[in-house]
């Protein structure tokens, strides 16, 4: 019972005050319902008393009928009102939480958002919240009808015979203790179940997402075997767990019936020994049935309470993602000089950027080179305040980026990646995202500069709708469209994050032309793999394990006997980067 109450408290805390009041209201109504339920007992007793006393007549039936009818009608009204409150409370809580989460995410560092985190956020805001709403609308009803009805019936038994009431109370306590034990067992098996879940999900995802590879390499046999194995293993685990739980659950169901039997036996013994009259005995026997149906309802609550707990936990997890202060003054571009002063940064505990100091003069082109995982992307993200640094400071035009508001910073940065995302909308609308009021000439110019002549040949030209995730265009075409968009945005600082990696020779020339157009008269930071792109930079920073280990122009770096020269002279793939 304590876990049950604790669970309810956690859930109520999760709700907004208004919804909490609705749930409290529902509980009060259920208590009233329980009292109405208990009012049946005096009516029954009254009937028996008159039947056995020989004073039974129509008036008695009418009286008993009224004593029962009024509580039944009232109970119906209370049930209706309580259900309404819970449905409204449950669904509104889920809806409000979604909004709260969306609002919270506005303040979460940009860098937090990646494919993994997006899948997680989506699953919590959709599935989890739906589940929560679904169950929350019923859970209060179950707990309260179960627990409160039982307590009220037991309490009213004290008016008839305290000995029988004590038997009932003992039974209820035994039931609750058993309930706790079952919960404990369920918890013990939870990790096993979760493991089986994960194995099945990951095998299924592998199979479904990799279906084109599986088809083209004819791997059906191999993968369906893996899939089947995971599935079978999952099924076996589920069955094992369930089989272990079944005896316990069966015993639980029969405990409630056993309480009824005990109450009946004690009632009959008391009757035979002359302690109670027949009317009381019969009433108590009927009460024993009411008790166990209420207790059964409470038993059903067990499974649901676990789901609620999990949902609340997940919701709270998202709400506890650390936020940053996104306000600050607007950034107005001056020379767009960037400076790092003893900057250190880590995602969790592991230091990713380690005491980096560097200067990038506005309107120059610089490159970050270094092995994969050395921290190049992170350095660029810190400039645009995707994350706030833990030590040191990042300065833009001499001012700490923390003092600028994030929206205005974003306006002045353009990121070009190798993989781009275009919305399932027309090409025109995808471009207008960068500049809402762009004129036709501006758009045409941007398309021309970024070598997007293919747009003209599409069935609807610029009004062609791009498929989901841009799938109707080739990778190179999408990338050039994203550059056209960046040209329209015309921000002062351009960051090319491995934009030219893995480009095929056929696309390379066009892509380079597009990038040249984009980066003209801009502060450019490129994370590059190719000697060709790096060679003409004004400054090259060699990054290794979160530190700048060398910097200078290509010629300067070639004079030193450092990593850069070694890479160049080897002129082959080295620890993940090509020169």
Ligand X SMILES: Nc1ncnc2c1ncn2[C@@H]1O[C@H](COP(=O)(O)OP(=O)(O)O)[C@@H](O)[C@H]1O
**Residues near Mg ion, by CB under 5 A:** 377
- Tell which one of 347, 407, 424, 520 touches ligand X (CB under 6 A): 347
How many residues sit in the footprint of ligand X (CB under 6 A)? Answer: 11
Least distance (Å) between residue 94 CB and Mg ion = 37
Angle between helices 278-319 and 220-272 in degrees, nearest 10: 150
Q: Identify what 374 binds: Mg ion, ligand X, none; CB under 5 to 8 Å per kind.
A: ligand X
Least gap, CB of 380 to Mg ion (angstroms): 8
- Minimum CB separation of residue 450 from ligand X in Å reads 25
Two tokens, residue 414: 């353009």
What is the β-pairing status of strands 539-544 and 493-497? unpaired
Q: How far is the CB of 482 from Mg ion (least distance, A)?
A: 17
User: Residue 375: which of Mg ion, ligand X, none does it interact with, CB under 5 to 8 A by kind?
Assistant: ligand X
On the 0-12 / 13-18 / 19+ scale of CB atoms within 10 A, 124 is buried
Are the CB atoms for 514 and 435 separated by under 8 Å?
A: no
Helix (H, G, I), strand (E, B) or coil at 250: helix
Cα–Cα distance list, 110 to 396, 406, 407, 410, 567 (Å)? 18, 9, 11, 10, 33
Q: In the beta sheet, which residues pair with residue 356?
A: 343
Instruction: Please pick, from the candidates 376, 480, 485, 492, the single residue that binds ligand X as defined by CB under 6 A.
Output: 376
Instruction: Considering the complex, state which of residue 300 and residue 575 has its C-beta at the smaller distance from ligand X.
Output: 575
Instruction: Look at residue 115 and give the partner it binds from ligand X, Mg ion, none, a contact being a CB closer than 5 to 8 Å depending on partner kind.
Output: none
Q: Which residues, 6+ apart, have CB-to-CB distance to 394 below 8 Å? A: 338, 339, 340, 341, 343, 382, 383, 385, 400, 401
- Contact partner, 569, from Mg ion, ligand X, none, Cβ < 5-8 Å per class: none
Nearer Cβ to Mg ion (135/352): 352
Q: Give CA angle at 141 (137, 147), nearest 5°.
A: 150
Angle between helices 278-319 and 162-209 (to 10 degrees): 30
**Shorter beta-carbon distance to ligand X: residue 377 or 507:** 377
Q: Which of residues 113-132 bind ligand X (CB under 6 A)?
A: 114
Q: Does 372 bind ligand X (CB under 6 A)?
A: yes
- The CB-of-499 to Mg ion minimum distance in angstroms stands at 11
Reported in sequence order, the residue ranges of 115-213 that DSSP labels E, i.e. its strands, are none
In the chain, the N- to C-terminal Cα span, in Å, equals: 67
424 touches ligand X by CB under 6 A: no
Pairing of strands 493-497, 391-396: unpaired
Q: Is 500 in the site for ligand X (CB under 6 A)?
A: no
Neighbours of 325 (CB within 10 A): 11
Q: What span, in angstroms and rounded, lies between the C-alpha atoms of 236 and 196?
A: 9
Name which of residues 167 to 186 contact ligand X (CB under 6 A). Answer: none
> In the bound complex, what is the minimum distance in angstroms from residue 501's beta carbon to ligand X?
11
Nearer to ligand X, 488 or 496 (CB): 496
- Using CB under 6 A as the binding rule, whether residue 352 contacts ligand X is answered as yes
CA-CA distance, 264 to 245, in Å (whole number)? 29
Instruction: Give CA separation, 380 vs 104, 293, 335, 368, 405, in Å.
Output: 24, 64, 18, 9, 17
Give all strands (DSSP E) within 418-488, no chain letters: none
Q: Which stretch binds ligand X (CB under 6 A): 92-100, 174-182, 206-214, 370-378?
A: 370-378
Position among 125, 144, 256, 377 found at the interface with ligand X (CB under 6 A)? 377
Q: In whole angstroms, how close is the CB of 376 to Mg ion at the nearest point?
A: 5
- Looking at the Cβ atoms of 458 and 549, the one nearer to Mg ion is 549
358 with 343: CB under 8 angstroms?
A: no
User: Would strands 391-396 and 365-369 be described as parallel, antiparallel, or unpaired?
Assistant: unpaired
Let me know the angle formed at the C-alpha of 136 by 86 and 19, rounded to the nearest 5 degrees. 50
347 binds, among Mg ion, ligand X, none (CB under 5 to 8 A by kind): ligand X
CB closer to ligand X, 86 vs 377: 377
* Token pair listed for 322: 């650390």
Asked if 529 touches ligand X (CB under 6 A), the answer is: no
Nearer to ligand X, 171 or 546 (CB): 546
Taking the least distance from each CB to ligand X, the nearer of 376 and 480 is 376
Nearer to ligand X, 34 or 111 (CB): 111
- Which of the ranges 167-175, 256-264, 374-382, 485-493 carries the binding residues for ligand X, by CB under 6 A? 374-382
Among 42, 111, 146, 328, binds ligand X (CB under 6 A): 111
Please pick, from the candidates 170, 210, 373, 461, the single residue that binds ligand X as defined by CB under 6 A: 373
CB-CB contact of 370 with 543 (8 Å): yes
CB closer to ligand X out of 234 and 546: 546
CA distances from 2 to 6, 147, 179, 180 (A): 6, 12, 11, 9
Nearest approach in angstroms of CB 486 to ligand X is 20
Write the CA distances from 297 to 33, 68, 256, integer angstroms.
Answer: 15, 23, 11
Would you state the structure tokens that stand for residue 9, as one six-digit string?
């408290």
d(CA 2, CA 549): 59
Residue placing its CB nearer to ligand X in the complex, 108 or 199: 108
The position carrying tokens 């007793």 is 45
Q: Taking CB within 5 to 8 Å according to partner kind, which of Mg ion, ligand X, none is near residue 469?
A: none
| Binding segment toward ligand X, per CB under 6 A, in 11-19, 185-193, 375-383, 565-573 | 375-383
One of 86, 149, 256, 378 touching ligand X (CB under 6 A):
378
Between CA 281 and CA 161 the distance in angstroms is: 9
373 interface partner picked from ligand X, Mg ion, none, CB below 5 to 8 A per type: ligand X
Q: Which does 378 bind (CB under 5 to 8 A by kind): ligand X, Mg ion, none?
A: ligand X
Q: Which stretch binds ligand X (CB under 6 A): 67-75, 180-188, 358-366, 371-379?
A: 371-379
Interacting residues toward ligand X by CB under 6 A: 111, 114, 347, 352, 372-378
């Amino acid at each position: 019972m304590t876990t049950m109450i604790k669970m309810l408290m956690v859930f109520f805390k999760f709700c907004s005050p208004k919804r909490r009041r609705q749930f409290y209201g529902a509980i009060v109504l259920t208590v009233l319902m329980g009292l109405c339920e208990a009012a049946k007992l005096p009516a029954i007793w009254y009937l028996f008393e008159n039947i056995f006393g020989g004073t039974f007549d129509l008036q008695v039936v009418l009286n008993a009928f009224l004593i029962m009818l009024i509580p039944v009608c009232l109970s119906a009204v209370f049930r209706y009102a309580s259900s309404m409150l819970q449905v409204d409370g449950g669904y509104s809580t889920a809806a409000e939480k979604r909004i709260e989460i969306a609002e919270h995410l506005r303040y979460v560092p940009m860098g937090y958002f990646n494919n993994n985190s997006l899948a997680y956020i989506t699953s919590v805001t959709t599935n989890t919240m739906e589940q929560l709403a679904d169950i929350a609308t019923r859970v209060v009803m179950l707990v309260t009808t179960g627990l409160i009805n039982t307590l009220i019936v037991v309490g009213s038994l004290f008016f008839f015979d305290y000995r029988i009431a004590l038997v009932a109370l003992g039974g209820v306590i035994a039931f609750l203790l058993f309930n706790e034990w079952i919960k404990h067992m369920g918890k013990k098996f939870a990790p096993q179940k979760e493991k089986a879940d994960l194995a099945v999900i990951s095998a299924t995802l592998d199979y479904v997402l990799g279906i084109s590879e599986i088809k083209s390499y004819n791997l059906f046999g191999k993968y369906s075997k893996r899939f089947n194995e995971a599935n079978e293993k999952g099924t076996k685990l589920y069955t094992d767990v369930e089989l272990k739980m079944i005896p316990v659950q069966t015993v639980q169901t029969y405990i409630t019936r056993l309480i009824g039997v005990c109450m009946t036996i004690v009632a009959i013994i008391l009757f035979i020994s002359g302690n109670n009259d027949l009317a009381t005995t019969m009433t108590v026997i009927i009460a024993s049935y009411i008790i166990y149906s209420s207790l059964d309802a409470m038993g059903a609550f067990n499974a649901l309470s676990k789901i609620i707990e999990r949902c609340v936990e997940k919701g709270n997890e998202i709400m506890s993602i650390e936020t940053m202060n996104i306000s600050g003054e607007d950034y107005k571009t001056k020379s767009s000089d960037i400076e790092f002063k003893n900057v250190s940064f880590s995602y969790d505990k592991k230091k990713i950027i380690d005491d980096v100091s560097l200067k990038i003069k506005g309107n120059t082109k610089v490159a970050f080179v270094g092995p994969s995982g050395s921290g190049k992307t992170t350095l660029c993200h810190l400039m645009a305040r995707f994350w706030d640094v833990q030590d040191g400071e990042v300065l833009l035009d001499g001012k700490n980026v923390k003092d600028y508001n994030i929206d205005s910073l974003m306006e002045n940065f353009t990121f070009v990646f190798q993989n781009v995302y275009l919305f399932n909308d027309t090409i025109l609308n995808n471009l207008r995202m960068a500049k809402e009021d762009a004129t036709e000439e501006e758009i045409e110019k941007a398309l021309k500069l970024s070598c997007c002549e293919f747009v003209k040949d599409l069935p609807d030209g610029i009004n062609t709708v791009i498929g989901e995730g841009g799938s109707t265009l080739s990778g190179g075409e999408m990338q050039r469209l994203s550059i056209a968009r960046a040209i329209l945005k015309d921000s002062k600082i351009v960051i090319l994050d491995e934009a030219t990696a893995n480009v095929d020779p056929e696309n390379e020339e066009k892509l380079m032309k597009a990038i040249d157009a984009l980066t003209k008269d801009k502060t450019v930071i490129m994370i590059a793999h190719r000697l060709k792109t790096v060679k003409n930079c004004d400054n090259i920073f060699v990054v290794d394990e979160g530190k700048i280990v060398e910097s200078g122009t290509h010629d300067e770096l070639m004079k030193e006997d450092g990593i850069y020269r070694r890479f160049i002279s080897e002129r082959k793939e080295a620890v993940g980067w090509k020169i």
